[in-house]
Amino acid sequence: MPIVFLDFDGVLHPEHCHESKHFSCLPVFESVLSQVPDCKLVIASTWRLQIPVERLREKLGPSVAAKLVGVTPQYCYLRDVPPTLVGYEREAECHAWRRANQVLNEPWLAVDDRSWLYRPFCKSLFLTNSRTGLCTTSAERLVARLLKIL
């Protein structure tokens, strides 16, 4: 069962958009999850640092929230970051969550718009366009990637 590490800004809505557009791409993401129902979802967005997980569940809606199994730990509190992940904060947070939950051998994919938070050529990164967020075209590619790692 693949684990999806989800960013919000630049994925579920355009980066730096007006508050009225927050979660405007959520229906597209819901469509992705409906085509790949055996996913677990972990929030990797910085929103997790400011908003309690229960309020984030409400923002995601029932179908997405049903797949939510947690949030990643914050980089500054991580211990024993592997040397290869130092400087790649989001990937290190994903790794720490996977290690803490004993799923290091499970397939995973991070959906994010910031490549520099992951090692160069990270095979587990699905990059979105920060100006648009997840759109229909990129959603089709995301479904294909998730089905490939099942």
Which pLDDT does position 41 carry in this prediction?
A: 98
How do residues 10-21 score in pLDDT, each as one tens digit? 999 999 999 999
> Within 10 Å of residue 45's Cβ, how many Cβ atoms?
21
HSE of 128, CA atoms in CB hemisphere, 13 A: 30
Q: How far is CA 20 from CA 14, 16, 86, in A?
A: 11, 11, 36
Q: What is the mean pLDDT of residues 100-117?
A: 98
Check pLDDT > 90 for residue 150.
no
Which pLDDT does position 24 carry in this prediction?
A: 98
- How far is Cα 68 from Cα 29, in angstroms, rounded to an integer? 13
Given a contact cutoff of 8 angstroms between Cβ atoms, the answer to whether 70 and 99 are in contact is no
Which pLDDT does position 140 carry in this prediction?
A: 97
Residue among 98, 41, 85 nearest 65 (CA): 41
Q: What is the mean pLDDT of residues 61-77?
A: 97
Which CATH number is 124's domain given? 3.40.50
Q: What is the mean pLDDT of residues 45-67?
A: 97
**By percentage, how much of the chain surpasses pLDDT 90?**
98
Q: Locate 134 and state its tokens.
A: 């997840």
Q: Which helix (H) or strand (E) holds 65?
A: helix 62-65
Check pLDDT > 90 for residue 117.
yes
Structural domain containing residue 89:
3-149
- How far is Cα 124 from Cα 18, in angstroms, rounded to an integer? 30
Which pLDDT does position 39 carry in this prediction?
A: 94
What is the total count of domains within the chain? 1
Burial class (CB in 10 A: 0-12, 13-18, 19+), 94: buried
Check pLDDT > 90 for residue 139.
yes
Q: What is the mean pLDDT of residues 55-83?
A: 96
